[in-house]
Structure 1
Amino acid sequence: MINVTQLGYAGVNVVELDSLQHVLDKVCGAEVRRDGERLYARVDERHHRLAFYKADTMSLAYMGLEVESLDALRAAENELRGKGLEVTRATAAEREERAVLDMIHLRGPDGVRIELFFGAVLEKLPLKPGRAISGFVTGELGLGHVVLACADRDAATRFYTEHFSFRLTDYIFWSEAEATFLHCNPRHHTLALMNPCFGMVPGQFNHLMLQVKSIDDVGRAYDIVLEEGIPMVMNLGRHTNDQMTSFYVKTESGFAIEYGYGGVEVDDHDWDVKVFNAPALWGHALQA
């Protein structure tokens, strides 16, 4: 089994960049760089954690899963090939664009591009956030989390837990939705897998989450969203399972950005897997 330490980065194909840049910069407080039809968001000492590419349709372009060394990356490549999976080594241009020392990639369930990498490039200058915030929670916990719709949620869960070191955190089953939450470090979940509910189709990217260090960061961002009339998927609320206090901004491309504070961390030595029948303790009401 391949030991994945965190979600290091993610890339998303988007249909527009202007309003997304404003949300990332002035609402989330990321350091945003625009390069033609590409947008990069920096949230810590790394060159960037998020990349967005202008495209005709929205989709998750890739997710970057970090391993602990170059030797671990080589071993992962050999292990995956030995299991009959098709693995490709990154080109020099791909390594440069991702700002990593080395990377391999393969296709996972529903065609999701999974990139395994080591050696994220660190910036010499401190983070220059788009607005005053206390900072983002990354470090050993990684970027945050991504949520995907799957044609076969159980099969997708087996793929990530049998090939990689993802562990089961918990489940939420509500209405027509069935969601499985997986972790690879103390963050409550790095990856959540759902059935194709609420109009989603298999392989669809639902949302990404950014966690900040203060509830005041969330509150001030929420004020900006309300004042500017920025669309939301869900209003301010608190989740049942990870107990994150957050809200969800709706991007023009169709995916959401969850912006939150205070998530529970997992200790594998005494963690009990639970099943919840609702996603929110309070709030998180769907917005028109």
Structure 2
Amino acid sequence: MTSPQPGTATSGVPEAGSLVLAATPIGNAEDASPRLRRLLAQADVVAAEDTRRLHALAERIGVAVGGRVVSYYEHNETARADELLDVVDGGGTVVVVTDAGMPSVSDPGYRVVARAVERGLRVTAAPGPSAVLTALALSGLPTDRFTFEGFVPRKPGERSRALSALAAEPRTMVFFEAPHRIAATVEAMAGAFGAERPAAVARELTKTYEEVLRGPLGELAATVAARSADGEGLRGEICVVVGGAPAVRAASLEELVGEVLDRVAAGERLKDVAGDVAATAGVSRRDLYNAALAAR
């Protein structure tokens, strides 16, 4: 269909001449917003991660997609970006949707937005359901500060290194994971973050079989492993929410001096030990050395 040129009359679509990131339901079709329905009906182009799922969603929510539907997924998003943005540049409306949730959050969308910014084109969003925020809200863990980490690496070694790097993260962390890897991932989290770290495993959010398991990572790892062994497993889309690292009380100079003297008594050199302990504790090497020397 021919897109209107900038400055010409449009059909009244407020997003004309825009790239629109539109959130789709993460499970329950009733969460589709009136704006999403209108956009699907009126947009010039709808770029979908999976065109079949888009048409299935449209049928469930009672909308006839009015414009051209094109596929837009991980392996073609860079190549297709300018094709979509040429429509926007001509005054048309391009809506980007993924299979569930907000585009660009662990889904296609980021590259076309970045390219739109480079070209000086308007980008807006039709906000809606988010698995990240839903899982965070239902976890029972602190929500004032959090970080989204996406999917952890698949290979065990890379996964362990990635999680170890997050062990001291003070904010609540949200992860995505696949059903066939969830048992290994939660076990690895218990190892990296500690078995007592509070967490929640949420699956099938907003769907009929929604379930949120809460507890220390060690207990969750045992629960998930037992269900996997029984053949039940955890099915569906899964989010893991992990509490941030607890604040560590800084050791006093007196405590550090005691540690230094204990190691000296075991045969280490005072100067070497003072430097090592000072570096770890983040205190002055000279002050610690002098205090330990005076205490001997």
With the shorter chain as reference, the TM-score category is under 0.3
| The structure with more helix, counted as a fraction of residues | 2
Q: Select the structure of larger CA radius of gyration.
A: 2
TM-score scaled by structure 2?
A: 0.26
